[in-house]
Amino acid sequence: DPAPAAYRSTLSTRCNYSHCSIIDITMPSSAIWKTKFTQVFNCPLPIMGAPMAGVSGGLLAAETCRAGALGFVAAGHADNLDSLDKEIALFRTHAPIDLVTGKGAPLALGFITHSTCKNGDFTTLRTLLQKYEPKYVQF
C-alpha cells in the first residue's frame, strides 16, 4: 500500500454468509465523506440500507453498519412480532461496537405505516418503539 497509515482509513467487515469472505475497504482520509447525512446519522458513508419488508433483516442491517453506512431492520407491517424480535436480536448481536464508547451501532427500524397503524391505531407502533428503543425510525 503506497499510502502511509496516517493518510488512510480502513473499514473492515466480515460477512456472515458462507459465500462471502473478509472485505477490506481502504480509502484515503480525504475520501471520507462529510455531508449532512454523515453528520446527522454519525456514519462515515452517506448510504442508507433501505428497510425492505421480507428482505432487510438484522444481519443485513448489521453488515451495512459494519461497512460504514446506516443499516435499517425492516419491521414491515409489524404483523410478525416473533420474527421481528429475532431480527433485532441478530442486529444487536452482529452490529459493530464503537471501541471508544462501547455502544453498538444504533438500531434503525422501518415500518409500512398504512398497515402498521390501521384505522389510526398507533398502539402496536408505540409498543414496538418503547420495547426496542430505535434511534431512527422510517415510515
Q: What is the value of pTM for the model shown? A: 0.74
The overall average pLDDT reported for the chain is 80
List pLDDT tens digits, range 40-90: 998 889 999 999 988 899 999 999 999 999 999 999 999 899 999 999 999
Written in H, E and C, the secondary structure of the chain is CCCCHHHEEEEEEECCCCCCCEEEEEEEHHHCCCCHHHHHHCCCCCCEECCCCCCCCHHHHHHHHHCCCEECEEEECCCCHHHHHHHHHHHHHHCCECCCCCCECCCEEEECHHHHCHHHCCHHHHHHHHHHCCCEEEC
